[in-house]
Amino acid sequence: MEPLAGVPRPELLRSAAVNLNHWYAVALSTELGHKPLAIQIWYQDIVLFRNPQNQVQALENRCPHRSVKLSSGYVQGNDIVCVYHGWSFDGTGHCTAIPYLNERQKLPPCRIRSYPVQERHGFIWLFPGDPAQAPHHQPLDLPEWAHLNYVVSVAPMDFQAHFSFLIENLMDMYHGHLHRNFQPWGQAVLHKKSRSLDWIEAEYHAECYFRIDRPWSVFQLFIPRLRRGFLTSLVVRYEYPHWHSWLGNDFRLYCLIIPVSTTQTRAYLIHTVSLGAFQDLHRLPIWFRRWVKNRCFNAAKGFLQGLIREDVLMMEQEQQAHLENPQARGLEVNPVVGSVQKLIDQQAQIHKTKD
């Protein structure tokens, strides 16, 4: 077992804050249309809306007049309009109009908080920390999202537990036991782990049951009888605050994490399958390859949702057990878990020193 030196006590770990000075994928681009969208990240209520140039704007979701939610309002030109008395706010958070001001009254000098925000790889990324830090960080790279050689599926995940339970779940590949009926991987053995200040990587040797080398291989996703196990490398990487993994040559998984509170977490699980083995496909016109990619989008969504259901059940039980006995520390034999706990604690300390 790994020594406990540096591993935070359970009551600290399960209430650890997040380091907000990172880009968080708060919504899929397709989730934000013409109507404002409310999102939450680490105790902050935020409203997203699009201006006429289709650029995303992000503001504190609170009207400074009577503190109702701006997300209940509507977009008009460059502004979001509060539904209650019609005050308008632009993308920088300045109040631009109050419809019933008389000529002797001036606009109050109010300004609500605005957030750096950008669209990339199919997601809306928001920087909830110090805005001056935003240019020094980048959203997690997700090259398969647009690449024609990959079929992508995505499923959201909402659950009532601290985000540390999710990271531990994602980094401890021995939990393949839980998903044995879906056979995403099996027989994992930890081979090595490495870490730096803001990432941890673990390599397992594991059985993969999916080999995408024939046009009909994709049916393996739906018909377990077609699956054949073969040994391959399974690399998982916690690249704070997100996670991604490689299973053999054909599969990548990402988990983009949005901590909401100490007992609530949201995430997007993204599955990508390489079509690299189909040489003939690559000789076809780009428009056709794009059509295939779009037609196959979310082909594995049901598979992801099955995994999510099983994981959420476990993580919510862990959270419940923790709330009933906050000092209890579980027994652990996978050294990766202790490393994850230390990293979460260190990033929480960075958050504290910057407060």
Helices 163-171 & 335-354 angle (0-180, nearest 10): 140
- Measured CA to CA, the distance from residue 352 to residue 355 in angstroms comes to 5
Query: Could you say whether residue 273 binds ligand FES (CB under 6 A)?
Result: no
Of 9, 35, 85, 214, which lies in the binding site for ligand FES, with binding defined by CB under 6 A? Answer: 85
Q: Which among 140, 83, 348 has a CA at the least distance from the CA of 256?
A: 140
Closest CB to ligand FES among 69 and 289? 69
Query: Could you say whether residue 168 binds Fe ion (CB under 5 A)?
Result: no
Residue 97 binds which of Fe ion, ligand FES, none (CB < 5-8 A, kind-dependent): none
Phi, psi of 274 (to 5 degrees): -80, 135
Please check whether residue 296 is in contact with residue 272, taking contact to mean a CB–CB distance below 8 angstroms: no
Compose the 286-315 pattern: x for residues touching Fe ion by CB under 5 A, - for all others: -------------------------x----
Residue 62 beta carbon to ligand FES: minimum distance, rounded to whole angstroms: 9
Window of 62-70, 167-175, 265-273, 313-321 that interacts with ligand FES by CB under 6 A: 62-70
Query: Could you say whether residue 84 binds ligand FES (CB under 6 A)?
Result: yes
Closest CB to ligand FES among 110 and 333? 110
**Stated length of the chain:** 355
Query: Could you say whether residue 65 binds ligand FES (CB under 6 A)?
Result: yes
| Dihedral sign from CA coordinates of 53, 58, 61, 67 | negative
Detail the DSSP E strand segments found in the chain.
Answer: 24-28, 37-41, 44-50, 56-60, 74-76, 79-81, 88-89, 95-97, 117-120, 123-126, 150-159, 186-195, 199-208, 230-239, 242-247, 251-261, 264-274
Window of 25-33, 77-85, 181-189, 275-283 that interacts with ligand FES by CB under 6 A: 77-85
Residue 174 binds which of ligand FES, Fe ion, none (CB < 5-8 A, kind-dependent): none
Please check whether residue 226 is in contact with residue 211, taking contact to mean a CB–CB distance below 8 angstroms: no
Query: Could you say whether residue 75 binds ligand FES (CB under 6 A)?
Result: no
Question: Binding residues for ligand FES, per CB under 6 A?
Answer: 63, 65-66, 68, 82, 84-87
Question: Binding residues for Fe ion, per CB under 5 A?
Answer: 311
